Amino acid sequence: MLFLQRIPRLLRWIFAVTFIFLGTMTLFRFIFYWVYNPIGKPFSGSAFIMGLRFDARVAAAVGLSILLLTFIPYLNPFRRNGAKKFWNVMIPFTFVIMVLVYAIDFYHYDYLHQRLNATILNYLQDAGISFNMMWQTYPLLRALLLLIAVALLARFTFGKLLNRYLYQDSFFKRRGVWMYVIAFLLLAQTIVGKIVVKPGQFPLRWSDAFTLSDDFKANLALNPFQSFFSTVVYRHSTYDIKKVKADYGVMANFLGVQHPDSVQLNYSRSFQPADSAANHPNIVLVICESFSAYKSSMYGNPLNTTPYFKSLCDNGVFFDRCFTPAYGTPRGVWATVTGIPDVESPGTASRNPSAVDQHTIINDFSNYNHFYFLGGDATWANIRGVLTNNINNLHLYEQYDFKASTIDVWGISDKNLFLEANNQLKQQDKPFFAIIQTADNHRPYTIPTEDEAAFKKVSYSKDSLQRYGFESNEELNAFRYTDFCYRQFMQAAQKEKYFDNTIFVFVGDHGIRGSAGDMFPKCWTEQGLTCEHVPLLFYAPKLLAPKRVHEVCSQVDILPSIATLAKIPYTNTTIGRNVFDSVPAAAQYQNVSLNNRYAFIIDHDVKSIGLISDQYYYLMNQKSGVEAMFSMTDNAPVPQNNSTDSIKKEMAKITNACYETARYMLLNNKKK
């Protein structure tokens, strides 16, 4: 007690207020649990601990705001009598707002089974209808009376609390600046929510709640303030249900939906293998950072940057016309794991709390162990929430789970990431599905000191670099280093018993905009397709015969294709399709000379959407509505005639259908 009395009265008062806010939020969490906990679900201490961390952030924000404002002399109640009136209004008002938000959150969850988020602001567009619905459904009058009672109680409680500290004796006569500094740092650290001491770490985010791998636990842990402000940028993330239904027939045919239903919007397709594999193969899916096709050896780049990977492609099933739906690593990971193009804008789908619940074909590998290896921190772009909430029994390995030391902001080196992953995989005694996400082919283009002897850097003149797609020798050597890492991994894996029964899949997360020179027709450079063109390789020497495939495919096609190769029964509810299907669902479009493989593209920077076939690239600017069609095979303009007009019309139809359907799927592809 004597120690507490030595703390300045101002700080004691601030922390008392902070703990009242924290205690009230904790009480609301217990009420939420008591009302909404599913029958039979046991009490979750982990959800309450996570929730306490979220609540502490909000309470600390209140405390820190008070502390900062009291640095203004006229707002310090212990130095100015007039400031007492200000705080006797401001703090009860803030408390009532908090209670009101929790009440809205309570009924929001009752209505939508979602914690409060910014989409509630959309109801203001039809405020009259929304109010009448609430008036007829919920006891608003009683809630208002209760809120008034809370306001009076708060005014009395916080007024008494301030008086208590105002009239206490202070044993600490000096200003004790160091105590204020400690209080500031303590509150600030509580707002951060984690001890962040190294580059690449992130503060506590909403996605951390979904590491609990249970939807109700995640919702129980969330704080309505956290979930609301995390979704403000996504408040307009929605879809036009009329357009979705109007396009349903196009998409059902395009995807080959087995049981079309335009009312329920069924996109589900089930796959049953004709024969069951005696030994289900392991899967290793490598998502390669910035793996631009035109920069690599497989397409004839004279700098010969990836000779080892080219040798793998020569001995595997190599799709040389694979495209990512969008540019950016979060969007690439999203498309790969979910099978849905990330059409979210301006943020990414992985950052949208409303889209965190997703069905993924990975879970159809039900008797497999699931792994995800990342050299950095999975909190980046809230990827952790997407992964842990949707992939069953996921073993997620991040930079601090490895023995290797971090080398830069992206964590450990790709070589060490591969070798650490191999050490885990070789210990498995049952089939596994592992994803390895690389990062070194990214600024600051770090080449680890430990690899400088084995990996020999090269240097070219600036004009040679620019002619063949590189800005600097640092970028070139980082790209070459990825090839070095692939070699180290595959040579290590070849020594393990799992190798012969494993399908290795390599795909770029995205490409890099730049000049492809004469390696491709000019539209690839002029229309920015170098951003999305990436290699896609299926490599399994004992299981797959070598083949180079020139048909167009997409990043969203990877999971259904892997499941088909592994002879795993699966249900596909998204846009991705099996690239090994010799008679694709969209073959009916051949009557207008369209190729039966397509890749949907969205460029968030210039606001355009498009569709790629083997012959053409259709493009439509969403701002201006201007349409264009380019040749994918040569530099000649697309001739205008009845045939190309029909092709353009069909491609426009599919492009818009893919876009509207993807917007719908982002929020409605719930896991089963």
Q: What is the pLDDT of residues 16-64, one digit of tens each?
A: 999 999 999 999 999 999 999 988 888 989 999 999 999 999 999 999 9
- Identify whether residues 291 and 186 lie together within a single domain: no
| Range(s) of the domain holding residue 137 | 2-234
* Res 527: pLDDT: 92
Per-residue DSSP letter, 153? H
- Identify whether residues 153 and 7 lie together within a single domain: yes
**What would the two tokens of residue 386 be?**
């997407």
- Contact (Cβ atoms closer than 8 angstroms) between residue 355 and residue 667: yes
According to DSSP, the β-strands at 502-508 and 432-437 are: unpaired
* Res 129: pLDDT: 67
Distance CA 399, CA 403 (A): 9
- Identify whether residues 73 and 171 lie together within a single domain: yes
Residue 464 scores a pLDDT above 70: yes
Distance CA 498, CA 665 (A): 36
Distance CA 505, CA 131 (A): 53
- Identify whether residues 192 and 291 lie together within a single domain: no
* Res 588: pLDDT: 40
Residue 427 lies in a domain: yes
Of 113-127, 232-246, 329-343, the poorest mean pLDDT is in 113-127
Question: Rounded to whole angstroms, what are the CA distances from 75 to 82, 176, 322, 372, 525?
Answer: 8, 19, 62, 52, 60
- Contact (Cβ atoms closer than 8 angstroms) between residue 342 and residue 348: yes
According to DSSP, the β-strands at 282-288 and 432-437 are: parallel
Residue 390 scores a pLDDT above 60: yes
Helices (H), 124-263: 127-137, 140-166, 177-192, 215-221, 224-230, 241-246, 248-255
Percent of the chain beyond pLDDT 70? 93
* Res 196: pLDDT: 58
Residue 321 scores a pLDDT above 80: yes
* Res 170: pLDDT: 59
Of 118-132, 243-257, 346-360, 384-398, the poorest mean pLDDT is in 118-132
* Res 587: pLDDT: 43
Of 79-88, 124-133, 250-259, the poorest mean pLDDT is in 124-133
- Identify whether residues 210 and 288 lie together within a single domain: no
In which band, very low, low, confident or very high, does the pLDDT at 590 lie, cut at 50, 70 and 90? Answer: very low
Query: What is the DSSP annotation of 555-624?
Result: GGGHHHHHHHHTT--EEE-SS---TT-SS-GGGGGGGGT--S--EEEEETTTTEEEEE-SSEEEEEETTT
- Contact (Cβ atoms closer than 8 angstroms) between residue 469 and residue 517: yes
**Cα–Cα nearest to 600, from 590, 611, 591, 592:** 611
Crossing angle of the two packed helices 177-192 and 45-69, in degrees rounded to 10: 140
Residue type, 59: A
In angstroms, the first-to-last Cα distance of the chain is 55
> Alpha carbon 358 to chain centroid distance?
11
**Cα–Cα nearest to 158, from 80, 75, 77:** 77
According to DSSP, the β-strands at 502-508 and 533-539 are: antiparallel
Residue 606 lies in a domain: no
Residue 511 scores a pLDDT above 50: yes
Q: What value does the mean pLDDT take over residues 430-440? A: 97
Report the half-sphere exposure of 231 (CA within 13 A, side-chain side): 27
Coarse DSSP helix, strand, coil percentages of the chain, rounded to the nearest 5 percent: 50, 10, 40
* Res 169: pLDDT: 61
pTM for this one? 0.83
Residue 236 scores a pLDDT above 80: no
Distance CA 261, CA 34 (A): 38
- Contact (Cβ atoms closer than 8 angstroms) between residue 473 and residue 369: no
- Identify whether residues 283 and 229 lie together within a single domain: no
Distance CA 314, CA 317 (A): 8
What is the maximum span of the chain, computed from C-alpha positions, in angstroms?
A: 92
Q: What is the mean pLDDT of the chain?
A: 90
Residue 384 lies in a domain: yes
pLDDT: which is higher, 126 or 455: 455
User: Which residue is associated with the tokens 């609540």?
Assistant: 55
* Res 112: pLDDT: 74
Q: What value does the mean pLDDT take over residues 302-330? A: 97
Q: Which of 543, 576, 609 is the last residue of a domain?
A: 576
Phi then psi for residue 110, to 5 deg, are: -60, -35
- Identify whether residues 289 and 183 lie together within a single domain: no
User: Which residue is associated with the tokens 């001739």?
Assistant: 639
Tally the residues of the chain. 672
CATH of the domain at 367: 3.40.720.10
Q: Which of 542, 576, 610 is the last residue of a domain?
A: 576
Q: What value does the mean pLDDT take over residues 240-263? A: 94
Distance CA 421, CA 11 (A): 49
SS3 193: coil
Distance CA 208, CA 386 (A): 10
Helices (H), 208-247: 215-221, 224-230, 241-246
In which band, very low, low, confident or very high, does the pLDDT at 339 lie, cut at 50, 70 and 90? Answer: very high
Of 150-159, 189-198, 240-249, 367-376, the poorest mean pLDDT is in 189-198
Residue 173 scores a pLDDT above 70: no
Distance CA 219, CA 232 (A): 18
Residue 82 lies in a domain: yes
* Res 97: pLDDT: 96
For 45, the enclosing helix (H) or strand (E) is helix 45-69
Structural domain count, the chain:
2
**What would the two tokens of residue 334 be?**
């999203």
- Identify whether residues 36 and 152 lie together within a single domain: yes
Residue 638 lies in a domain: no
Distance CA 151, CA 155 (A): 6
Q: What value does the mean pLDDT take over residues 204-231? A: 86
In which band, very low, low, confident or very high, does the pLDDT at 205 lie, cut at 50, 70 and 90? Answer: confident
For 497, the enclosing helix (H) or strand (E) is none
Rg of the Cα trace of the chain?
Answer: 29
Q: Which of 552, 576, 600 is the last residue of a domain?
A: 576
Q: What value does the mean pLDDT take over residues 221-242? A: 85
Reading phi first (left if > 0) and then psi (alpha if -120 to 50, else beta), residue 434 is in: beta
Residue 269 lies in a domain: no
**Contacts of residue 661, Cβ cutoff 8 Å, sequence gap at least 6:** 244, 247, 248, 251, 267, 575
- Identify whether residues 220 and 283 lie together within a single domain: no
- Identify whether residues 212 and 294 lie together within a single domain: no
- Identify whether residues 69 and 191 lie together within a single domain: yes
Report the half-sphere exposure of 444 (CA within 13 A, side-chain side): 7
User: Which residue is associated with the tokens 């920069």?
Assistant: 295
Residue 591 lies in a domain: no
- Identify whether residues 333 and 217 lie together within a single domain: no
SS3 288: strand
In which band, very low, low, confident or very high, does the pLDDT at 123 lie, cut at 50, 70 and 90? Answer: low
Distance CA 26, CA 569 (A): 45
* Res 550: pLDDT: 94
**Cα–Cα nearest to 612, from 332, 341, 236:** 341
Residue 558 lies in a domain: yes
Q: What value does the mean pLDDT take over residues 441-451? A: 93
